[in-house]
Amino acid sequence: MKSKFIKKGNQIFKGIHIILLLFLIVFTSCNGQKKENIVTKKAFPNKEKIKILADSISIPAENLPEFKTDPHIKESQGNQISGVVRTMLQDKNKNFWFGTQNGLSRYDGQSLVYFDIKNLNGKSITIKAIAEDKTGNLWIGHSDGITKYDGTYFINYTENDGLISNDVWSITTDRNGTVWIGTLQGACSFDGEKFSVLALPKAKPDPTRGVTSDKIVHNIMEDSQGQLWFSTNGGAYIYNGNTIIGISEKDGLCNDYVNQTVEDLKGNIWFATAHNGLCYYNGTKYTPIEISLFDKDISIGSVIEDSKGIIWFNADKRNLYSYNGKELTKHTIEIGDSSPGTFQIYEDQQQRLWFVGFKGAYRFDGNSFVNITRNGPW
């Protein structure tokens, strides 16, 4: 299918306010200084990498206590995979990986194992994103840089190696094997040898969030045409390898504070925003999902399209919805005195939907939600 977003001549991004930042060509800032769009930061060849044998830090789940006092503390998470699961991924070998508030865990089809990864100060890290490259390496984005797992060793990279910021919020790998990292201080790529900064324009920090900045990149998505979409506090930015094109409220986007972008099976791009709900772009116009249940200032955190073509998203973390293009259905996970908050919605290779966040991991069986604990059901 031909891209709806990159066209020739006068058809380039019809109706969209365009910010063209030429690859490796300088642009002029307000004070007249010149900046490069791509800035290469060389890795430090003499720095000894933090390389840790996986077996040396693995802890079987049954060796951890099962009582629960605080969802943020690994040692007191009860029987949950974690009190707070930030993200998950199923790799090519069908292993399930869970990034949590206190580190990394893996279910390999037989047992659940925790990897006690710590930062340079000896403290547990918070994992916010996991991606797999085309050769099967895992790339883990967390609160102290990024970590590569090759199946045997964990190798950590930080600002000392050229990473733009140690506070990583998003990570993806493109079809060429390049790793793209979104951080509190902007975006960069890693080709295995060096880091290169992608200079996105500054935005306005979101004052309603506990952690924010004028450069934070919440999410990175590669579409079917190989273009990269960066979700920021200043709208969405599309990078095709040569130019960066910005999309904002001026173009019809429902809100500039974009949490995530997703491409559906028809080629539409969906935007989950922090303050004005959900909308999608079909190549011609933006269409908001008008829902009477929503307040105007509604925050959409995670959005996906499942294998059946149904859009799933969470509103204000605790409310879950599915949208089939005509009807909206609200779903509720019943547990205790409050529903668990969702950080990520994920569909596995068996086409099962997972919802991970506060109070652990849950899976939708078509009618109800099942809490997936250390003992499954897997």
- Per-residue pLDDT in tens (0 to 9) along the chain, 378 residues: 444 454 333 333 444 444 333 333 233 333 333 333 555 454 444 455 678 999 999 999 888 766 455 656 665 557 889 989 999 999 999 999 999 988 999 999 999 999 999 887 888 899 999 999 999 999 999 999 999 999 999 999 999 999 999 999 999 999 999 999 999 999 999 999 999 999 999 999 998 888 999 999 999 999 999 999 999 999 999 999 999 999 999 999 999 999 999 999 999 999 999 998 899 999 999 999 876 555 556 889 999 999 999 999 998 777 899 999 888 888 988 776 667 889 999 999 999 999 999 889 999 988 889 999 999 999
Q: Residue 297 in contact with residue 339, Cβ under 8 Å?
A: no
Strands in 369-372's sheet, in edge-to-edge order, are 342-347, 353-357, 360-364, 369-372
CB count in 10 Å sphere of residue 38: 17
In sequence order, the 6+-apart residues with CB closer than 8 A to the CB of 46 are: none
* Residue-range domains of the chain with CATH: 16-286 (2.130.10.10)
Q: How many CA within 13 A on the CB side of residue 84?
A: 15
CB count in 10 Å sphere of residue 9: 5
- Go through the chain and tell me how many residues it has: 378
Query: Which of 116, 111, 110 is CA-nearest to residue 74?
Result: 116
What pLDDT score was predicted for residue 39? 53
Buried b (16+ CB within 10 A) or exposed e, 282-303: ebeebebbeeeebeeebbbbbb
Q: How far apart are CA 350 and CA 301, in angstroms?
A: 24
Q: How many CA within 13 A on the CB side of residue 36?
A: 7
pTM of the model: 0.86
What pLDDT score was predicted for residue 75? 59
What pLDDT score was predicted for residue 122? 85
In sequence order, the 6+-apart residues with CB closer than 8 A to the CB of 98 are: 81, 82, 85, 87, 88, 104, 105, 106, 107, 356, 361
Q: Residue 234 in contact with residue 203, Cβ under 8 Å?
A: yes
Q: Beta strand 186-190 with 179-183: parallel, antiparallel or unpaired? A: antiparallel
Query: Which of 23, 22, 4, 21 is CA-nearest to residue 13?
Result: 4
Q: How far apart are CA 128 and CA 130, in angstroms?
A: 7
Q: What is the DSSP letter of 341?
A: P
What pLDDT score was predicted for residue 295? 54
What pLDDT score was predicted for residue 332? 87
